[in-house]
Structure 1
């Protein structure tokens, strides 16, 4: 490639300009890199192959190495349910389903459909883990479950690549190929284990004594690339060798310094990788098959989401299952490599390969938007399901009338409930924080998950037949909105609200005589309860 430097400079300039613009709109840099790759491909008629692709692959290599640093073999065994149980369930179920889809919609043969189907079951390690690391969710419960499934998928790439060799080599002895691969795997793991256990610590001790930062970084790069080379030499992916090397070095005391020094290399090479992804897009095939691409994108993401959520929901919290399923519903970067390999071996035609590659890229582009708003999306889904079903079930069970409706189960709301329980007066608490709802339910209290700002919620809570409504929420906007909403009912609803500071003056314009405002910085729950009970008694006399 004679004009490599020119292409590199123009691509870097385009990527920088695009990402500066996209960052103003909080759009992830991944999209900028992919767009830059497509623009360069159209200008210079590139196809994302050659020297650039080989260099860019090391973005994934360094990512897998840093993942290995975070999870040693001890941690991997501690995560055996997330990795081996969840991972195998996801890969097998999604793989079989997508095999049938590729056979039915794309008309692929059995062998090609099997490999393509299981490739579609892979999710994007590069996109998901980068986003989870950036926003700090990697240590949350859903982040660990997503990580476990992604690690299993990276291991599953090995038999997929083996299947490509088996199905494309009609004359080769399959038994011999499997035996050779097994022996190679044992030798590779044993060799890396020996190096990691007996050599790495001694080498780093000598390097540290040299007091040279550049020698330290050079040593790290040598180990990462060396482990990748060994894995590739024995017939496995570069990233597997890097992951094993990272997991071995994680046992040493140098892991944190190594990770900090490698992050700049990892992020830059990941950007280059996504540029090569953009180079693989052929616009003419996309325009001819845009409807099929849209259908496949929606079908694959929804099916993968449904499958992952389905088996996680059986033994974990619904919110965790939702966030995990949303986070890994895309198709991964390893699938792109498998589709390209299938095309090179004549198992996929160029049209089908391009359709699958573009569908994968679209799902990867959508993923950052999902991960950046994962909590909002989970709240909306819960609001659509829990809010309606849980409230309806609770209120139908109690059929409350002449009761107290309490908005908010925070500290003040909890104190109120404790005092009201002793009086025997019926009550209902509306709370939008699921953690607080679970806390109240664990105490045997009538707390339900609800968005109090919805009129339908207030109808289900039978607000018109309540004795009094008590608002313990401190958010100014929500306070004013609730006051206006309760004041809009034809039948006056006695309401007590707690405010602090000068908020009372701000609310007077929107409240009427049925609303009592208690203004105190150190209000006690018994004052609110007393006001509520007096109001209820007065109403019944």
Structure 2
């Protein structure tokens, strides 16, 4: 156990600087992991000299890697253009496998083993290609969509291939019964994935997410990985396949995005265990014996596979330029090829010499993939005599959410705001990590994204870069600061509104980048005095003016600014000034159905009726015989005390003596 921990620590220690270096030069860290594994392995510097510990670490890496890839897998991605992608993927794999099978005798292989090597070589690296496509912002281009579709198609084939590899190329001929049994086991596994993802896992995830704690969700994910792997092993499958199934189950849940974010900080290090351990399996002594042959074989493999992949995509009726770029995307072998070749070695299908030969060529093709992908567009632009514009590719998702509101938190404020935005057709999206609140949002038909607002990937998925406003309503100051700071970095023009529980947070959040911070205590105090004034029938326009002044003074005070005495004196001025009030006439009001003369506002209250608005028409200075009807809007003119009595007169008909003085 001590040696395993020591070796694992060494792998992580090596992966950190490699990850930093390759991130800086914008190349996939997988390349560095493979090279590092070659040098620290038992066949080079010997820092890890026990091959058995290498095998154990490789198996751990395979389990973790397959879970992560399974988590990113979704059948829905294949269904968007399933016809042409199936055509391209099937042709690409069939042509590659067929070509290598025909030349198998030249490699001292039988046709059965040649078919196996051809199938393994036909698979491409999902990890490398997705990394390069994402970094180049080509995920929504035609070549990006087709390339990813073919990769996902290849991922689907991993399930039956992991079952068929021990049979393909074996000394015993593959009987139809064996093939049927392998396909039945694969179908049962897929059926289990579908059943669990649709029926079992969502209910369990909803129940666990109600607690609102990330730890419970993470523990459930670990339990699912280990439990599924254990069940798969008892069904005659491999632990790695069980981990892949666990990832596929979680990929179909509503919480897949948050699970990815929880694993994201250590995702590269999980992957590094596998790729470094694979590099350690490479025997440099075998490579140096025939280095020229292996380099030539790598070049021929890239040319053959890339050309056949391009032909397959072109036959599937995609443009020639797209086909050629996809050919370069798919020209290398992939991580599943390494996994399946290791399984073939363990099963005795491939001997050590054949395994090492395939491993060397596979690793060299993976090392060559990033520069090929990076140089693809400039070379093809020259070839097709097109001028590169440098403009980013147009995204199909840009039109879905743009100039929208992002709501961080589905509490009472988020719920009310989303309801209003829905009614007036303003686009918005809610971010929420509490399972119970997310369920409520879905019940209210609010577009909701399960995730943590403090993560960049969550905000990206909410398309914050193209949003107009961010409304933050979260429980603690530290979280709100993280969200505001990250949002301001991602979108400098974004209007950020924050609701906080304390006045003391206003200055801090404003300095962090918020445009407006609304303290809950302050707004509560405004609501209280508003209700008090309304109870005393203070006219609405007077209340609104007072609210505006209080807010001006309040928010200025929170930022260390004071209004001058002249502004504050307006409080008493507004209470004594001559004002107008608009009073909607309701069916139950005393004045409804009476004439202006019968209402007699001037003599009973001192206020004057200066206009009546009826169905959009303004009747200024109505005649004494003008009938007042339901839904009329009465515009009344007078001082504060007069208006208060006038409203009472209109509503209840109480006659009060007119106050002395002229309202004008």
- In the alignment, what sits opposite 1:62? 67
Q: Is the 8 A contact 1:119 1:338 kept in 2?
A: yes
Superposition map of 1:116-131 within 5 A: 116-131=117-132
Distance 1:360 1:196, change over 3 A: same
Residues 100 and 368 (structure 1), Cα distance of their counterparts in 2 relative to 1, 3 Å cut: same
User: In the alignment, is the contact (CA less than 8 A) between 2:62 and 2:339 conserved in 1?
Assistant: no
Q: Which residue of structure 1 lines up, in the alignment, with residue 185 of structure 2? A: 184
Segment drifting more, 324-333 vs 81-90: 81-90
2:383 matched residue in structure 1 = 384
Write out aligned runs for 1:195-344 (5 A).
195-236=196-237, 246=247, 248-314=249-315, 315-344=317-346
> Post-superposition shift, 1:432?
5.1
Secondary structure of 1:139's match?
Answer: coil
> Post-superposition shift, 1:297?
0.4
Aligned to 1:137, what secondary structure does the other structure show?
coil
Matches within 5 A, 1:18-33: 18-33=18-33
Deviation at 1:257, TM superposition (A): 1.9
Counterparts of 1:26 and 1:46 in 2: how far apart (Å)?
Answer: 33
d(CA) in 1 for partners of 2:130, 2:146: 12
Range that drifts further, 305-314 or 132-141: 132-141
For the Cα contact (< 8 Å) 2:303–2:331, is it kept in 1? yes
Deviation digits for residues 143-197 of structure 1 (CA, Å, limit 9, x no counterpart): 2211221122223334444443335665688233233223323332333322222
CA contact (8 A) 1:35 1:278 kept: yes
Alignment map for 1:90-169 (pairs within 5 Å): 90-104=92-106, 106-167=107-168
Judging changes above 3 Å, is the alpha-carbon distance between structure 1 residues 88 and 232 closer, same or farther for their aligned structure 2 residues? farther
Q: CA offsets, 1:260-303, max 9 Å, x none? A: 22323432211111101111111111100101101110001011
Q: By how many angstroms is 1:225 displaced?
A: 4.2
Cα separation, partners in 2 of 1:340 and 1:319, compared to 1, 3 Å: same
Q: What TM-score comes out, normalization by structure 2 length?
A: 0.53
**Which region of structure 1 is more displaced relative to structure 2, 152-161 or 317-326?**
152-161
- 2:16 paired residue number: 16
The match for 1:530 is none
Q: 1:79 to 1:121 in 2, by over 3 A?
A: same
- The aligned length equals 386
1:251/1:116 CA distance change after superposition, 3 Å: closer
Q: Give the conservation status (yes or no) of the 8 Å contact 2:38–2:281.
A: yes
Deviation at 1:234, TM superposition (A): 3.7
Classify the secondary structure of the residue corresponding to 2:167.
helix
Check 1:96–1:171 CA distance in 2 against 1; reply closer, same or farther (3 A cut). closer
- Following TM superposition, by how much is the alpha carbon of 1:359 offset from its aligned partner in structure 2, in angstroms? 0.7
C-alpha deviation, 1:245, in angstroms: 5.0
Of 24, 33, 45, 2:49 maps to: 45
1:348 aligns with 2:389: no
2: CA distance between counterparts of 1:196 and 1:20? 36
Question: Counterparts of 1:238 and 1:320 in 2: how far apart (Å)?
Answer: 38
Structure 1 vs Structure 2 CA RMSD: 2.9
Q: Secondary structure, in 3 states, of the residue corresponding to 1:166?
A: coil
Larger radius of gyration: 2
Give a deviation string over 1:358-410, Cα, whole Å, max 9, x none.
11011111212333x2xx422323313446xxxxxxxxxxxxxxxxxxxxxxx
1:447-462 alignment, distance < 5 Å = none
Q: Mark the CA change 1:186 to 1:305 in structure 2 (over 3 Å): closer, same or farther.
A: closer
State how far apart, in whole Å, the 1-side matches of 2:152 and 2:292 are.
33
2:173 and 2:100 mapped to 1: Cα distance? 27
Going by fraction, where is helix more abundant, 1 or 2? 1
> Normalised by the size of structure 1, how large is the TM-score?
0.64
Gaps of 5+ in 2: 393-664
Matched with 2:523 is none
Residue 432 of structure 2 corresponds to none
Q: Deviation at 1:321?
A: 1.6
CA distance in 1, matches of 2:142, 2:253: 26
| Cα deviation code 1:484-518 (max 9, x no counterpart) | xxxxxxxxxxxxxxxxxxxxxxxxxxxxxxxxxxx
Q: Deviations over 1:403-454 (max 9, x none)?
A: xxxxxxxxxxxxxxxxxxxxxxxxxxxx654999xxxxxxxxxxxxxxxxxx
- Cα distance change of structure 1 residues 272 and 222 upon mapping to structure 2, 3 Å threshold: same
Unaligned runs of 5+ in 1: 388-430, 437-541
Rate the CA distance shift 1:366–1:179 in 2: closer, same or farther, 3 A. same
Partner of 2:82: 80
Aligned to 1:362: 364
Q: How far, CA to CA, are the matches of 2:145 and 2:255 in structure 1?
A: 23
Compared CA separation, residues 26 and 77, structure 1 to 2 (3 A): closer
